[in-house]
Amino acid sequence: MQNLLVLIMSGRWRATLMVALSAVIALLFLPLSSPFSYIGGAIVVLVTLRHGAEALTVILGASALLALVGYLLFGQVVAILMTGLSLWIPVYILARVLRASVSLGLTVLVTSLIALAGLLVSYALMDNPAAWWEQRLLPLWEQGQFGDPALLKQISLYMMGLMLTAWQGGLLLCVLLGRWWQSRLYNPGGFQQEFYQLRLNQWSSWLVFALFAAAAWLDESWTHLVDQALIIMVVPYLLLGLSIIHALIAKMKLRRGWLVGVYVLSFILPMQFTMLVMLLALTDAWIDYRERVPSASA
């Protein structure tokens, strides 16, 4: 891994080729190959963190290569190109935010704000996003014989928020992976400490509480929009909660088995686990668990 990262960073054309190649592999072997696209996004983040605006040349070069491959293999240019740019441009912006602020917490919040803005824009531009999703999912639903179409109607109400949440998660994965690679190359151990110290502002916690209140009190015509905004906000607070858990286990010098147990629990009881971690993360802005819990050496 280390040698490959050094090779990628030894020249912009190598980084450009790897970004384009990851996107092509992701397109050729869908759907199982989608993680390859995140590797390309992480390379964009790594180059941006190291060289700033020069990373735009990597994006432009990779876009040209992807457009050429799209034309030769699929007979399409715009649609194929957008699959790359919809990831590379946002992660470039996020990497610039991280580079300028040196704040992983701020970058995480900006990611959520981008997703929330996408949700609001989609509802502003589309008459009925739920009906749009239902129309496109119905053939797949009938082909797969998934059951009552009424269930599809309920799922469609939240599809826009779910898709934006998945997109947001992909962006964050690219940022975290790129930051980790940067740490491995230029600041060993730096990413671990940065992740342990991840913090979100109190105003973002108040925003989540306000969304919960709005979901309870607003008219039904608004609740689906608010619920989707809450789904989007689960991502940053789930990440923060995991950061707190990792930091506390490290501070108390507990065995790695505790971490294994945490993640096993997340698979066995995903809903309950998410709610508990969210509560931990939301209250951290006032309680600051990492400061209150004594270290094992104290």
* pLDDT tens, N- to C-terminus, the chain (298 residues): 788 889 999 888 999 999 999 999 998 887 666 788 999 999 999 999 999 999 999 999 999 999 999 999 888 899 999 989 999 999 999 999 999 999 999 999 999 999 999 999 999 999 889 999 999 898 888 787 677 778 888 999 999 999 999 999 999 999 999 999 999 999 999 999 999 999 998 999 999 999 999 988 887 778 889 999 999 999 999 999 999 999 999 999 999 899 999 999 999 999 999 999 999 999 999 999 999 988 876 5
Tokens describing residue 16: 């450009």
Tokens describing residue 98: 């991280």
Q: Which residues contact 237 (CB under 8 A, 6 or more apart)?
A: 200, 208, 277, 278, 281, 282
How big is the chain, counted in residues?
A: 298
Please report, for the chain, the start and end positions of each structural domain, with discontinuous segments joined by +: 198-298
Q: What is this structure's pTM?
A: 0.93
Alpha helices in the chain (DSSP H): 2-9, 12-28, 35-51, 55-69, 78-101, 104-125, 129-144, 149-156, 159-186, 190-196, 202-217, 220-251, 257-268, 270-287, 289-292
Tokens describing residue 62: 């990779």
Encode 88-107: b = buried (16+ Cβ within 10 Å), e = exposed.
Answer: bebbbbbbbbbbeeeebbbb
